[in-house]
Structure 1
Amino acid sequence: MVEESGSTGRSPRTRRRGQGELEAQVLSVLGSAPGPVTAAWVQERLHGDLAYTTVITILTRLYSKQAVTRSRSGRSFLWISTADEAGLTALRMRQLLDRQDDRDAVLSSFVSALAPHDEQLLRSLLNEPGPTASGTAGEAES
């Protein structure tokens, strides 16, 4: 027998969010903020039934990932985004890479699995001049 959608206690419109989806939504809301904002401000703009404590949990996780910063405002915090969704994804990728013993194998496997367009884009990005340890681009090693 198949359960009807209302028998789980959830409304038929409610669906489980994908991993990282709430974080991305919070970052998007913070990205539209006029400046540092409260968790209540974020909660109001998520247009959902998220509990205040859930919003705080997400903001705290983003803070630990260095995707947001916070500053004290009385007894609460004001939050501001330091990364967009792409930046958060890049941070996750770096954290995963940092946990690996054989970084060369991981990177090689990653690049070999890319679609041709993505591989070309990555190669062109890697060929662009970037900052070096001394702060200047394009210095030759002696």
Structure 2
Amino acid sequence: MRGFGELEAAVMRQLWTADGPVTVRHVHTALSEERDLAYTTVLTVMDKLHRKGWLRRRLQGRAHLYQPMATREQYGAGLMREALTDSGDRGQALLHFVGQMTLEEAAALRAALSIYERKIAGS
């Protein structure tokens, strides 16, 4: 897994915040408020994200409806897993990562670990 490019990330943000499946036209309209983009550019990016397995699409009439295959949180978790795997010394990488956390983030991590430990212990 590698991180998204700038335009891929912008497209995915639109899809992650949508209330359901959306068309290329919907994403193009939303992104065009921020930057000048050709419709075909957005179409190409969304097609590539579909081929990479990040988007699901189905034909409705003459247009495809797209939706993400993973949540933003699942994507972030995958990036963190990749960074941890590539770090060399996982223990040191985790120590540095935790050392950059706010108290709220540390509490969320503690809660997540507690939930995970109960899950794998079968309780």
Query: What is the TM-score with the length of structure 2 in the denominator?
Result: 0.62
Give the corresponding residue for 2:122.
139
Q: Which one has the largest radius of gyration? A: 1
**Greater RCO, 1 or 2 (C-alpha within 8 Å, sep 6+):** 2
After superposition, the Cα gap between the structure-2 partners of 1:32 and 1:121, relative to the gap in structure 1 and judged at 3 Å, is: same
Q: Flag structure 1 segments of 5+ consecutive residues without an equivalent.
A: 1-18
Query: What is the TM-score with the length of structure 1 in the denominator?
Result: 0.56
> Following the alignment from structure 1 to structure 2, what is the Cα–Cα distance between the partners of residues 138 and 53?
51
What SS does the corresponding residue of 2:77 show, helix, strand or coil?
A: helix
After superposition, the Cα gap between the structure-2 partners of 1:139 and 1:85, relative to the gap in structure 1 and judged at 3 Å, is: closer
Q: What's the RMSD between the two structures over aligned residues?
A: 3.6
Q: How many residues are paired up?
A: 116
Percentage of identical aligned residues: 31
Higher mean alpha-carbon deviation, 20-29 vs 100-109, is at 20-29
Offset of residue 62 of structure 1 = 7.3
Q: Flag structure 2 segments of 5+ consecutive residues without an equivalent.
A: none
What SS does the corresponding residue of 1:79 show, helix, strand or coil?
A: strand
User: Which residues in structure 2 correspond to 1:1-142 (within 5 Å)?
Assistant: 22-30=7-15, 31-35=17-21, 37-48=22-33, 49-59=36-46, 60-61=48-49, 64=52, 66-71=53-58, 78-129=65-116, 137-139=120-122
> Following the alignment from structure 1 to structure 2, what is the Cα–Cα distance between the partners of residues 114 and 25?
26
Name the structure where helix makes up a greater proportion of residues: 2
Q: Summarize deviations over 1:53-92 as a string: whole Å, max 9, x none.
A: 432454324763x542345779985421133444433332
After superposition, the Cα gap between the structure-2 partners of 1:26 and 1:126, relative to the gap in structure 1 and judged at 3 Å, is: same
> Following the alignment from structure 2 to structure 1, what is the Cα–Cα distance between the partners of residues 96 and 112?
18
Offset of residue 112 of structure 1 = 2.2
After superposition, the Cα gap between the structure-2 partners of 1:102 and 1:42, relative to the gap in structure 1 and judged at 3 Å, is: same
Give the corresponding residue for 1:10.
none
> Following the alignment from structure 2 to structure 1, what is the Cα–Cα distance between the partners of residues 71 and 91?
27
What SS does the corresponding residue of 2:79 show, helix, strand or coil?
A: helix
> Following the alignment from structure 1 to structure 2, what is the Cα–Cα distance between the partners of residues 95 and 79?
26
> Following the alignment from structure 1 to structure 2, what is the Cα–Cα distance between the partners of residues 95 and 76?
35
